[in-house]
Chains A and B, each alone.
Chain A
Amino acid sequence: MSENSEQNGRKSSNKIKNLLRNFFTNPVYIISFLIIALLSIAIVYPLIKIAINTFQWSARDFIPSAVPGEFTLYHWITTITGEISSSLLYQPMANTLAIGASVSVLALTLGAVLAWLVTRTDIPFKKTLGFMMILPYMFPSWFKAFVWLIIFKNDRVGGSPGLIQYLFSVGPPDWLSYGFVPIVLTLTSHYYVFSYLLVGAALSTISSSLEESANILGASKLQTMKRITFPLVLPAILSAFILIISKSLGSFGVPAFLGLPVRYYTMSTMIYSSIGSGRPTEGYILSIILIVLAALIIYFNQKMISKKNYETIGGKDSKAKLITLGKWKKFAMTGAVGFVFIVSVLPVVLLLWQTLMLKDGDYSLSNMTLHYWIGDSNPDIANGYSGVFKNSTILSALKNSVIIALTASVLAAMAGLIIGYIVTRSRKMFSSKLIDQLSFLPYLIPGIALSAIYLSMSTTKILFLPVLYGTLTILILITVVKELPFATRAGTSTMIQIGGELEEAAKVSGASWFKRFFRIMLPLSKSGLFTGFIIVFISAMKELDLIIMLVTPSTNTLTAATFGLQEQGYPQIANASVAIIIFIIVVVYLVTTIFGKTDISKGIGGGK
C-alpha cells in the first residue's frame, strides 16, 4: 500500500518535472507566458481598476449616506435604469451601433472593391492609385470632418458659408451637413483603408493557380469568385471588419465635430464629456459597456474565423494573372480617380492653402505668405509665434513625436508578429486564445479612458517598474498597447497564410525554435512586419486623445502642440504642423515600401 503510493508519488512528481521541463524548454510556452504577463500589467490591471472604480462611491457623489471608497451599485443603477439613462446610455448607444454597422458595410465593400481593382485587374497606374488610396488614412480624421464642413456647411452654425451654399445660395439640409450621414461618410472615407489593405493582402497572396484550376475545371468567373476567391479573402474581410467596427465605435473626433451641432451623441462623445467634466465614473461605466458590446461582436467574429482556415503560401508563389477589365476599364478608372481626388487630393490642397493664408479665410493670392512656415517672430502676426521651422518648441515636439512613433511601431510590429505566430500555430491552446483576446482589448478602451488610467498608473510604482510619468517611455508604452490590436491583426493575417509544412520540414531537420522563427517565419513575413510597422507608425504620429493627458513640457509631441495652437486660434501654424505630420508619415511610408521591397498597397505578403 505505502509502496504503491510512494510509487505513485514518484510517478506524478516525475510527470510534473517533465511538464515543467517541457514548459521551460518550449519557447512557445515561455513566450506565451511573457506575453500574457505583459498584457496583464498593461491591459487587464487598468481594466480591473476602472471596473472597481464604478462600484465605489466617489468623493463627488454628494449623497449624504455615501462613504467614498465603499461599495455601491448606485452608479450602475443610475446609468442603466435611472432618469438620465435614455440620454446618457441608450440613445448614444443606438447612434453608435448605427454608425458602426453602416461604416462597416460601406467601408468593407468600398475597400474590397478597390483592393480587387488594384490587385487583380489590369487597371492602369496601379502604383499611384494604390498609394493615393492609402493616403486618407495618413490624415488625422478630425481634419476630414473639417473638410466636410468647408463643403457642406449650411448657415446653422453661422460663420462663412460652405462651398455648396456659396455656389447655389441654398444651404444643404441639416441631415447632410451634420449628424449621422456625414459622420458615416467621413469615417468610411477613413476606415475603408483597413479593408483595402487587408483584403488586398489576401488577394495578392492567393496563388492564381487555384483560380486557374477552377477555370480549367470549367467554373465561370462568377463561380470562381464565389467559391475560390471570396472564401480565401474571408478571413481578411473579417479581420478588417473587426478593425473598422471597433474603430468606428470608439471614434471621437469626427462625431464631436459633426454630431454636436445637431446634438447627435455617440457613446464616445458621451464618455469624453463625462470624463472631461470631472465625473469619470459614468464615463467608465459607458466605457465598460462599449467594451462589452465590441467584445460580443468580436466573439461572434472569432467563431467565424476559426471555422474558416486556409493556408495558401507554400514557399514560392506564381504570379497572379490579371483580369482584363475591357470596356469597363474607362468606367473603373474614372471612378477610382474621382474617388482618390475627393478623399486624398482635395483635403491636402485645402490644408496647404490654409497654411499660406496670412489672414485665415481669405483665399485671394495677395493674402498668401510663407510666414507660418519660415517666418521669424513678428509681434503683429499670430502673437509673435514664429514659423514652424523657426520655432524651437515645435521642433522639439517634432523630435519627440518621431522618437515615440518609431520606437512604438517597431516594438508593436515585432510583438504583433510574435503574437500572430503564437495565435496561429497553437490555435487550440487556451493560452493562445487568451493572448488573442487580450491583445485586442486595448482597441475597445476609448483613448481618453486609457489615457486617464495610464496617468494614474504612471505616477505610482508598480512592482519593480519605476515611476514612468514624464518620460517618453510611458508615451511609447501606451502607444504600443493601444496599437497592439493593429499589429496583431497584421501579424496574424500574415502568419495564417504561411503554411506549417515549411516549419515542420525545418523541425524534422533539427532546427531549433529560434532558428525556425528567425530563418523561416520572419523572412516570409517580412512584408507583414513592415505592414504592422507602418500601420502603427501612421496612427502613432497622428495620436492625440491618447497622450494629451500624459505629455509634459519635455515630452510634448507635435500633435499635442498642434492641438494647443488650434485652441489658441493659430490655425495656420497648427495646419502647417499637421502638414509636417502628414509629410513625415508619407516619407516614412515610402521609405518602408522601398526598403521593405514590398508595396503594401498591393497588400501584405505580396513581396518575393
Chain B
Amino acid sequence: MKSKNIFLVMIGVFLLTVLGACGGDNESSNAQGAWKENANLDAEESMDDLYEKAKEEGELVVYAQSSATEQTVNSFKEEYPDINVSVTKVSSVDMLEKIRLENEGDVQGADVVVGKDSNGFWKNELLDNHMLHSYHPNHIADNLISPYDQYKGLPIITEVITVMYNSDANDNPPIESWWDLTTPEWQGRVTMKNPLEAADIQDLFLTMIQHSDEMEADYEETFGEKLELNGTENAGYEFVKRLLDNDVVLMSSMGDSVDAVASSTSSEPPIVIASSVKLRDVESDGLPIQMVHDITPKVSVPGTTSAFIIDGTPNVNSAKLFIQWIAGGDDGTGAGFTPFNNPGTFSTREDIEQDFDVPGLEQLDLWEEDVDYYYQNVNELRDFLIQTL
C-alpha cells in the first residue's frame, strides 16, 4: 500500500461522509398546523387592535418586487413607530426560490411577500403547498372589483403588459390590433424585453394562446382574410412567431425598452410592448409616452400584485397590519397606498380614486388571468420561444 493509496482512501471516506450527511433528511412539520391555528388568518381585526398586538413582536421583514412597497415603509413607520419594518427587493423568480428554500430549511427569511405571481409558480408551488397563506380581511376584500375579489392573497394593484408609443411623434395610437405589429410597417420597430426572461410577457403570450380563437377572428377582421398558420399550433402561437420574426428588438431590461421609445428623436420611432407601470417612471421624467388603450381583440391581461403571509411567521400581527396598510386601510385613503397610486398602476379597489390620463381598470377591455393555465403551458411556450428567437 502506497501513501498515495492511503490518501485516496481517506478522501473517499471523507467524501462519502459528506455526501451521506448532505442527503435529504426531511422532517415533517407538525408545527405548521399549530402555527396556522394561532395565526388566526380569518379573524376580522382592526388596524388599531393589530398595532397593539404587533408592538410585542419582532422586526417585520417584507419581500417585495416593487419599489413602491419600499417607499410605503416611510409612512408606515410614521404611523406605527413601535414596529420595526424592513423591505427587501427580490425578483419574482428569485422570490420563488427564496421562499421555497427558506421554507425547506426552516429559515424565516421574511414575514410578508408582496408581488406578482410569475407563470403561476407562486400559486401552484408556494400557495398550494402552504408556504404562503392568503389573508383576506372582509372589510377590505369587500371593496375589491370583480374578479379581483376572488383572488388568492390580497390584491393590491394590477398592471397590464401592452403597447406604448411616443406621443410626440404620434397624435393618435399608431396601432389598433395586435396583428398590426406583424406587418412590414413595424418591421424592426417594435422593442420589448426579451420574453424568455420576462414572465409577465410570457403570461400575455400564454393568454393569447389560450384565447387563440379570438386572435384568429381578430386577424380576419383586421386584414379581411383567413389566417394561415406557418407550422404553428394555433393563432396565438402564430402571432408570437410573426411578431418575433418581424425583427423585434429585444432588450435586457423593460425600463430601457420604454426609455428607448420615449427618448427617441427619430421621425418614425419604435413602439414598445411593456408594462403599464413604466408610465410612472417616464411621466415623472417628463418624457412623451402613452399607452394604447384600445387594442383588438383585447388590450391585454392584468398582472396582479398581491400580498401574502409567509408560513410560520412569528410576527403575524405586524404582517396583517402591514398588508392592510399597503392596501390603503379601511376606506382606501390610507397613506400606505400612496406610493402605488400612479398612472399605469391600477387599483383593484372600487373605493380608490385614480385621477390620471390613463383610463381606469374597469374601462380597459382585458382577458382574465389564469395562473393554472400559465403554469401548465409555460414550458411549451418557452421551447417555442427558444426556437423562434
Quick check: is A318 within 8 A (CB to CB) of the other chain? no
| B186-205 vs A, Cβ < 8 Å mask (1 yes, 0 no) | 00100100101101001000
Which residue in A83, A160, A260, A273 is a CB contact (below 8 Å) of B387? A83
Q: Which residue of chain B has its CB nearest to the CB of A63? A: B379
Nearest CB of B to A521, in Å: 22
How far is it, in angstroms, between the C-alpha of A460 and the C-alpha of B10 when the chains are bound? 25
| A553-585 vs B, Cβ < 8 Å mask (1 yes, 0 no) | 100100000001001110000000000000000
| B280-293 vs A, Cβ < 8 Å mask (1 yes, 0 no) | 01001100000000
How far is it, in angstroms, between the C-alpha of A272 and the C-alpha of B91 when the chains are bound? 14
Of the 9-residue stretches A1-9, A16-24, A194-202, A489-497, which lies at the interface with chain B?
A16-24
Decide if B93 touches A567 in the complex (CB within 8 Å).
Answer: no
Residues of B within 8 A of A40 (CB): 11, 14-15, 18
Quick check: is A431 within 8 A (CB to CB) of the other chain? yes
| A257-B379 in contact given A16-B1, A87-B386, A273-B194 (Cβ < 8 Å) | no
| A44-B15 in contact given A278-B199, A459-B107, A469-B107 (Cβ < 8 Å) | yes
| B100-135 vs A, Cβ < 8 Å mask (1 yes, 0 no) | 011011110100000000110100010000000000
Quick check: is B382 within 8 A (CB to CB) of the other chain? yes
Nearest CB of A to B278, in Å: 9
Quick check: is B260 within 8 A (CB to CB) of the other chain? yes
Report 23 cross-chain contacts, Cβ distance below 8 Å, ordered by A residue. A12-B1, A19-B1, A23-B6, A44-B15, A45-B22, A156-B188, A158-B264, A159-B256, A159-B264, A161-B265, A257-B252, A272-B197, A273-B196, A277-B202, A383-B67, A430-B7, A456-B101, A458-B105, A459-B101, A459-B102, A462-B18, A548-B94, A567-B255
Of the 9-residue stretches A54-62, A115-123, A223-231, A297-305, which lies at the interface with chain B?
A54-62
How far is it, in angstroms, between the C-alpha of A373 and the C-alpha of B307 when the chains are bound? 34
Quick check: is A37 within 8 A (CB to CB) of the other chain? yes
Residue among B11, B67, B106, B386 with the highest chain A CB neighbour number at 10 A: B386
| A279-B285 in contact given A159-B263, A361-B263, A567-B255 (Cβ < 8 Å) | no
Decide if B194 touches A260 in the complex (CB within 8 Å).
Answer: yes
Quick check: is A155 within 8 A (CB to CB) of the other chain? yes
Quick check: is A353 within 8 A (CB to CB) of the other chain? no
Residues of B within 8 A of A295 (CB): none
Quick check: is B38 within 8 A (CB to CB) of the other chain? no
Which residue in A29, A161, A277, A569 is a CB contact (below 8 Å) of B281? A569
Quick check: is A345 within 8 A (CB to CB) of the other chain? no
Decide if B6 touches A19 in the complex (CB within 8 Å).
Answer: yes
| B73-112 vs A, Cβ < 8 Å mask (1 yes, 0 no) | 0100000000000111100011011100110111101000
Q: Which residues of A contact B (CB under 8 A)?
A: 12, 15-16, 19-20, 22-23, 29, 32-33, 36-37, 40-41, 44-45, 48-49, 59-62, 83-84, 86-88, 155-161, 256-257, 260-261, 263, 265, 272-273, 276-279, 359-361, 383-384, 429-431, 434, 452, 455-456, 458-460, 462-463, 467, 469-470, 548-549, 551-553, 556, 564, 567-569
Decide if B15 touches A156 in the complex (CB within 8 Å).
Answer: no
| A455-B98 in contact given A16-B1, A469-B109 (Cβ < 8 Å) | yes
Q: Which residue of chain B has its CB nearest to the CB of A37? A: B14
Nearest CB of B to A267, in Å: 13
How far is it, in angstroms, between the C-alpha of A9 and the C-alpha of B207 when the chains are bound? 77
Residues of A within 8 A of B119 (CB): 277-278
Which residue in B7, B71, B118, B202 is a CB contact (below 8 Å) of A33? B7
Residues of A within 8 A of B96 (CB): 278
Residues of B within 8 A of A37 (CB): 11, 14
Main SS class of interface, A: helix
| A359-B285 in contact given A83-B387, A459-B105 (Cβ < 8 Å) | yes
Which residue in A59, A88, A156, A556 is a CB contact (below 8 Å) of B88? A556
Decide if B259 touches A470 in the complex (CB within 8 Å).
Answer: no
How far is it, in angstroms, between the C-alpha of A83 and the C-alpha of B109 when the chains are bound? 40
Decide if B196 touches A158 in the complex (CB within 8 Å).
Answer: no
How far is it, in angstroms, between the C-alpha of A161 and the C-alpha of B267 when the chains are bound? 13
| B7-26 vs A, Cβ < 8 Å mask (1 yes, 0 no) | 11011001101110110000
How far is it, in angstroms, between the C-alpha of A478 and the C-alpha of B389 when the chains are bound? 34
Quick check: is B333 within 8 A (CB to CB) of the other chain? no
> What total of chain B residues lie within 8 Å of the partner, measured CB to CB?
73
Decide if B121 touches A278 in the complex (CB within 8 Å).
Answer: yes
How far is it, in angstroms, between the C-alpha of A252 and the C-alpha of B11 when the chains are bound? 35
Which residue in A61, A155, A462, A467 is a CB contact (below 8 Å) of B21? A462
Which residue in B3, B86, B202 is a CB contact (below 8 Å) of A553? B86
Residues of A within 8 A of B94 (CB): 548-549
How far is it, in angstroms, between the C-alpha of A391 and the C-alpha of B72 when the chains are bound? 17
Residues of B within 8 A of A553 (CB): 61, 86-88
How far is it, in angstroms, between the C-alpha of A455 and the C-alpha of B98 when the chains are bound? 8
Residues of A within 8 A of B269 (CB): 158
Decide if A260 touches B250 in the complex (CB within 8 Å).
Answer: yes
Decide if B383 touches A276 in the complex (CB within 8 Å).
Answer: no
Quick check: is B181 within 8 A (CB to CB) of the other chain? no
Decide if B88 touches A160 in the complex (CB within 8 Å).
Answer: no
How far is it, in angstroms, between the C-alpha of A279 and the C-alpha of B382 when the chains are bound? 9
Nearest CB of B to A252, in Å: 10
Residues of A within 8 A of B175 (CB): none
Decide if A452 touches B88 in the complex (CB within 8 Å).
Answer: no
Decide if A157 touches B105 in the complex (CB within 8 Å).
Answer: no
| B254-278 vs A, Cβ < 8 Å mask (1 yes, 0 no) | 0110011101111001100000000
Decide if B389 touches A263 in the complex (CB within 8 Å).
Answer: yes
How far is it, in angstroms, between the C-alpha of A174 and the C-alpha of B194 when the chains are bound? 18
Decide if B18 touches A549 in the complex (CB within 8 Å).
Answer: no
Decide if B118 touches A278 in the complex (CB within 8 Å).
Answer: yes
Decide if A256 touches B252 in the complex (CB within 8 Å).
Answer: yes
Residues of A within 8 A of B106 (CB): 459, 467
Decide if B7 touches A273 in the complex (CB within 8 Å).
Answer: no
Residues of A within 8 A of B191 (CB): 157-158
Decide if A84 touches B249 in the complex (CB within 8 Å).
Answer: no
Q: Which residue of chain A has its CB nearest to the CB of B254? A: A567
Residues of B within 8 A of A33 (CB): 7, 10-11, 14
Residues of A within 8 A of B150 (CB): none
How far is it, in angstroms, between the C-alpha of A262 and the C-alpha of B209 when the chains are bound? 26
Residues of A within 8 A of B266 (CB): 155, 158
How far is it, in angstroms, between the C-alpha of A360 and the C-alpha of B125 when the chains are bound? 41
| A469-B61 in contact given A159-B259, A263-B250 (Cβ < 8 Å) | no
Decide if A59 touches B252 in the complex (CB within 8 Å).
Answer: no
How far is it, in angstroms, between the C-alpha of A60 and the C-alpha of B109 when the chains are bound? 25
Which 5 A/B pairs are nearest by Cβ-Cβ distance? A459-B105, A158-B260, A159-B260, A158-B264, A568-B67
Residues of A within 8 A of B15 (CB): 40, 44
Residues of A within 8 A of B14 (CB): 33, 36-37, 40
Nearest CB of A to B165, in Å: 11
| A277-B97 in contact given A160-B263, A361-B263 (Cβ < 8 Å) | no
| A455-B253 in contact given A19-B3, A33-B11, A467-B105 (Cβ < 8 Å) | no
Nearest CB of A to B234, in Å: 18
Residues of A within 8 A of B17 (CB): 463
Nearest CB of B to A358, in Å: 11
How far is it, in angstroms, between the C-alpha of A564 and the C-alpha of B70 when the chains are bound? 11
Nearest CB of A to B177, in Å: 22
Residues of A within 8 A of B18 (CB): 40-41, 45, 462-463
Residues of A within 8 A of B105 (CB): 458-460, 467, 469
Residues of B within 8 A of A470 (CB): 107, 109
Residues of B within 8 A of A29 (CB): 3, 7
Quick check: is B138 within 8 A (CB to CB) of the other chain? no
Decide if A430 touches B4 in the complex (CB within 8 Å).
Answer: yes
Decide if B285 touches A360 in the complex (CB within 8 Å).
Answer: yes
